[in-house]
Amino acid sequence: LDSPSHGNIAYRPVQRGVQSKALYTCEEGYDLNMNRNLKKVTRECMQPFSIFDCTGQWTKKQPCCIPRSCPDPNKSNFENGSIEGDHYFYPEIISLNCDVGHI
């Protein structure tokens, strides 16, 4: 199994054999399968190649880690200033700038 981009796999037990489990997690700012509430995904070895090696089938599809989306800052509600940036996904940065004379 491959770790997803921006994610990790931990095996339980460490040897990948009968009844092995693979726990997937994502790095900060990324969500598993676009689900912000999902903290980990577990896959289980279904058909081990041998008692110590699961190269066979695993339950569930391999998850992916998707950059977390941020809400649109709603430019129409930001009076007397401007917003620089229009990508609202982690780790993008936007800037809120006040017009001269405004705080």
pLDDT tens track for 55-75: 667 888 889 999 988 888 776
Average pLDDT (26-48) is 83
Question: If phi over 0 gives left and psi between -120 and 50 gives alpha, with beta otherwise, what is residue 29?
Answer: left
Residue 57 burial by Cβ neighbours in a 10 Å radius (0-12, 13-18, 19+) = exposed
Structure confidence at residue 6 as a pLDDT band (50, 70, 90): very high
Whether pLDDT at 27 is above 90: yes
Contact 30, 65 (CB under 8 A): yes
CA distances 62 to 25, 53, 88, 93, 97, Å, are: 11, 18, 26, 30, 42
The answer to pTM > 0.85 is no
Provide the token pair at 47.
């058909």
